Amino acid sequence: MNLDVDDVDQAVSTGLLPGWDRVDEHVAAAYERSRENHDGVVADYIPALAAVDPALFGVSVIEVDGGTHVAGDADVAFSVQSISKAFVYALVCEELGHDAVRERVGVNNTGLAFNSVVAIELNDGHPMNPMVNAGALATTAMVPGSPDEQWDAIHAGLSRFAGRTLVLDEEVYASEVRTNQRNRAIARLLESYGRIQTDPARVVDTYTRQCSLLVTARDLAVMGATLADGGVNPVTGERVVSPAVCRDTLAVLAANGLYERSGEWLFEIGLPGKSGVAGGIVTIAPGKAGIGTFAPRLDAAGNSVRGQRATAYLSRVLGLNVFASAAHVHLGGGAR
């Protein structure tokens, strides 16, 4: 769909968070309100994830000015998993542009599971969006260069989002290599449709590596705050991607970030976000902050239960929901 607005400057809508102390109090409250919830189960189809302590729980909010708020296990490391999809997508958009990535990968929700093969066949080989596995593999394949150069670019780019050099979890990587047959099948199917034009086995390997990078809830909040602040990392001050790329990435996250539960997430929380099966969720309040949570117990769609509860609370008490508004005060009391 061509709306013919590429030459129109886009105004931005930003607001202010409450004072630092109030945000700190609310982050602590989000942690306390959610910590006793024991719903969900730890992902067990990747052996290295099945061994994680299900009691772990951390919450972090990083403001666009660098203000930091943490509670619980916010500095415990875990693999980024599918959350990496959002940031690799941003890096590819920065490199190749809005139109090229939209045409190859798409932006629409499949309504099906994140690793669905049926979704590819139903859409004539189109991966549909970069937040499901098919779209993520197509996105990773678009990173310029050889496989080694692609990995170096992804590793460096995600580290710039986090504001520190991220480390590969070799145990998780090895575990996923032994169990990623479905991703290998998806990549081969995409190759047959011309959506992947390089060696699909190498693409899957690079994708598996990016999912195995270690982050913390604090890291996720920094990464989210970078997207919230028009692409500038609030901790390092470095520009990672452009404001236009942030806009595109957040739009895709709003539509697809929580898989087939994305509509429910947007309805209840009203913010773009992305989950991963290790238990992380990153959420972005444009112009305000990034939220990072970590809690390994997942719902049936692969989304952290405690993370969703804590984020929903923060969205309400901090006034983050992008769809929430108050009535405008009209002088004279009359309707216009």
Residue among 83, 14, 96, 11 at smallest CA distance from 319: 14
Domain 83-211 has CATH 3.40.710.10: yes
41 DSSP β-pair partners = 298
274 is catalytic: no
Q: How far apart are CA 238 and CA 222, in angstroms?
A: 12
- Per the annotation, does 313 bind a ligand? no
The residues spanned by each domain of the chain are 20-81+214-317, 83-211
CA dihedral sign of residues 188, 193, 198, 203: negative
259 counts as catalytic: yes
Q: How confident is the model at residue 326 (pLDDT cuts 50, 70, 90)?
A: confident
Strand runs labelled E in 166-321? 214-215, 273-275, 280-285, 289-294
* pTM for the structure as a whole: 0.93
Q: Dig out the tokens for 219 from the structure.
A: 């890291």
Integer Cα distance of 264 and 108 in angstroms: 16
Residue 5: other Cβ atoms inside 10 A: 8
80 tagged catalytic: no
Structure confidence at residue 45 as a pLDDT band (50, 70, 90): confident
Annotated catalytic residue, options 85, 105, 252, 282: 85
CATH H-level, domain 20-81+214-317: superfamily: DD-peptidase/beta-lactamase superfamily (3.40.710.10)
Q: How confident is the model at residue 113 (pLDDT cuts 50, 70, 90)?
A: confident
- What is the structure's pLDDT at 251? 96
- Is 85 marked active-site? yes
From 31, 89, 173, 207, the catalytic residue: 207
Give the model's pLDDT for residue 167: 98
Query: Of the residues 80, 277, 282, 305, which is catalytic?
Result: 277
- What average pLDDT score do residues 172-181 get? 95
| C-alpha span between 146 and 136 (Å, rounded) | 18
Residue 270 · residue 324 · CB < 8 Å: yes
Task: Name the band, by pLDDT with cuts 50, 70 and 90, for residue 217.
Answer: very high
Residue with tokens 């993520």: 136
17-32 pLDDT, tens digit each: 889 899 999 999 999 9
First to last CA, the chain: 34
133 marked among binding-site residues: yes
Q: Do domains 20-81+214-317 and 83-211 have the same CATH topology?
A: yes
* pLDDT at 210 > cutoff 70: yes
CA dihedral 205, 211, 214, 219 (to 10 degrees): 140
34 annotated active-site: no
pLDDT, mean of residues 209-230: 98
| 176 assigned binding-site residue | yes
